[in-house]
Amino acid sequence: MQAVILVGGEGTRLRPLTSNVPKPVVPLVDRPFIAYMLEWLVSHGVDDVIMSCGFLATAVRDVLGDGSGYGIRLRFVEEPDPRGTAGALKYAEDLLDERFLMLNGDVLTDLDLSAQIAQHERTGAVGTLGLVPVDDPSAYGLVRILGDGAVREFVEKPSADQIDTNMISAGAYVLERSILDMVPADQNVSIEREIWPRLVGNGLYGFEHEAYWMDIGTPDRYLQGTFDILDGKVRTAVQQRLGDGFLAVADGATITGRVVPPALVEAGVDIGHGATVGPLVVLAEGVQVGEGSTIETSVVHADARIGRHCVLRGCIVAAGAVIGDNTQITDGAVLGEGVRIGADNVVTRGARVFPGVEIPDGGLKF
């Protein structure tokens, strides 16, 4: 089975994590974000993946290689200019089989693709949209279907009185190649706005599944996705590392403080005396945590250094950042790569500090 993954966006909502690193390979727990999608696809029999890239495509290729590490054939297509979701698909036309999957590369999910493909074959559909429930569908487009699964109607960003279902598109489609005949070449075309409406009543179906689904598009959602992986709320290979105790501490980590699960601590991490790490924490390789510091509900990327008696809570710290003693990083704050925060600072309320910025001792009480 073949799949096309759209990863052309710049990931602007996730900056500063994506200022220097393309979103598909931003670390999520213990692997590049897009690795979850590749592993999920492999588990449903996909062995040929085409990645439609735009922003920093070479960096994505350098991390993922030819796909052999994931047991797939991986090829890359680079759009010369933004062409929308259908336009990107059209640009890859020469590589596509008669039937393939099309996927939004921003999503973390465990949708049952095998069952979706089986329904697609059973109904003789031209396209089958994976549909998942969300708690608040008002920010998304509703997909209303008939009893046989045929799509009846789309409702974009519905008002309260229009919400009669909580099923939204999961960004996972099973498609027949004939759909490409509807897409003009070399144009910016949206498959959601321009192709799906034309297929209502003409072979477009929805597959409903009570799956986990998260658009990892903002720092808040990045953190929530991390916590859900650690908690086992979404099925991933990380669960094998965490085990029943929801705790993974790699060989080579030095812990004289305390680690509270769920948590994942990589090799080379040093947690100082009296420091507490967890719950819901990821410390990547080489992270240093000073004595007496507390880190909860946070992600710290590789080789970051946390001083003594710091508090990190509900934050993201990118690779190589340095945080001085007695500093607090809380409430959705994000530090970019190589940021240096001096002692006695407070960074909070969703503040974003971009790569390379230096803040002196006591310079910020945000």
Asked if residue 365 is part of any domain, the answer here is no
Catalytic residue among 23, 157, 233, 365: 157
The residue ranking higher by pLDDT, 163 or 283, is 283
Would the pLDDT of 148 be above 80?
A: yes
Residue 235 lies in a domain: yes
pLDDT of residue 159: 67
- Which CATH number fits the domain that encloses residue 248? 2.160.10.10
Give per-residue pLDDT as tens, 249-296.
Answer: 999 999 999 999 999 999 999 999 999 999 999 999 999 999 999 999
pLDDT exceeds 90 at position 182: yes
Residue where a domain terminates, one of 211, 239, 268: 211
Most confident of 18-27, 68-77, 221-230: 221-230
Concatenating the DSSP letter of every residue in 77-115 gives EE-SS--HHHHHHHHTGGG--SEEEEEETTEEE---HHH
Q: Are residues 232 and 206 in the same domain?
A: no
- Give me the pLDDT at residue 11, please: 67
| Assigned domain for 271 exists | yes
Q: Does 233 participate in catalysis according to the annotation?
A: no
Instruction: Read off the pLDDT band of 103 (50, 70, 90).
Output: very high
Q: Say yes or no to pLDDT of 300 above 70.
A: yes
Count how many domains the chain has.
Answer: 2
Task: For residue 321, give the DSSP letter.
Answer: -
- Does 171 share its domain with 258? no
Confidence at 160, pLDDT banded by 50, 70, 90: low
Same structural domain for residues 135 and 61?
Answer: yes
Q: Mean pLDDT, to the nearest integer, of 303-307?
A: 98
The number of helices, as runs of H, and strands, as runs of E, in the chain is 7, 33
Q: What is the H or E stretch that residue 199 is in?
A: helix 196-199
- Note the pLDDT of residue 21: 82
Same domain, residue pair 323 and 240: yes
Burial of 54 (0-12, 13-18, 19+ CB in 10 A): buried
Is 252 buried (19+), middle (13-18) or exposed (0-12) by CB count in 10 A?
exposed
Residues spanned by the domain of 151: 2-211
- Find the mean pLDDT for residues 2-15: 84
Dump pLDDT digits (tens) for 200-238: 989 999 999 989 999 888 999 999 999 999 999 999 999
Q: Are residues 65 and 190 in the same domain?
A: yes
Residue 366 domain-assigned (yes or no): no
Dihedral Cα 280, 285, 288, 291, nearest 10 deg: 40
* Same-domain check for residues 19 and 97: yes
Q: Tell me the per-residue pLDDT of 311-349, one tens digit each, with 9 for 90 and over.
A: 999 999 999 999 999 999 999 999 999 999 999 999 999
Going by C-alpha positions, the residue among 203, 294, 291 that lies closest to residue 254 is 291
> 338 with 284, same domain?
yes
Mean pLDDT taken over the chain: 91
Asked, for residue 364, whether it belongs to a domain, the answer is no
In a domain, 132, yes or no: yes
Q: Are residues 237 and 334 in the same domain?
A: yes
Q: Determine which helix (DSSP H) or strand (DSSP E) holds 121, and give its type and residue range.
A: helix 113-123
Are 355 and 227 members of one domain? Answer: yes
d(CA 192, CA 48): 24
Whole-angstrom Cα distance, residue 214 to residue 233?
A: 11
Domain membership of residue 53 (yes or no) is yes
Residues 124 and 199 in one domain: yes
The per-residue pLDDT for 347 is 96
Give the end of a domain, one of 176, 211, 246.
211
Q: Provide the token pair at 68.
A: 């052999």
Look at residues 211, 246, 261 and tell me which one is the last residue of a structural domain.
211
The verdict on residue 285 lying in a domain is yes
Give the CATH number, domain containing residue 15. 3.90.550.10
In terms of domains, do 162 and 225 share one? no
Greater confidence (307 vs 22) lies with: 307
pTM: 0.91
Q: Say yes or no: 143 and 23 in one domain.
A: yes
pLDDT bracket for residue 55 (50, 70, 90): low
In this prediction, residue 366 carries a pLDDT of 66
In 10 A of CB 193, how many CB atoms?
Answer: 14
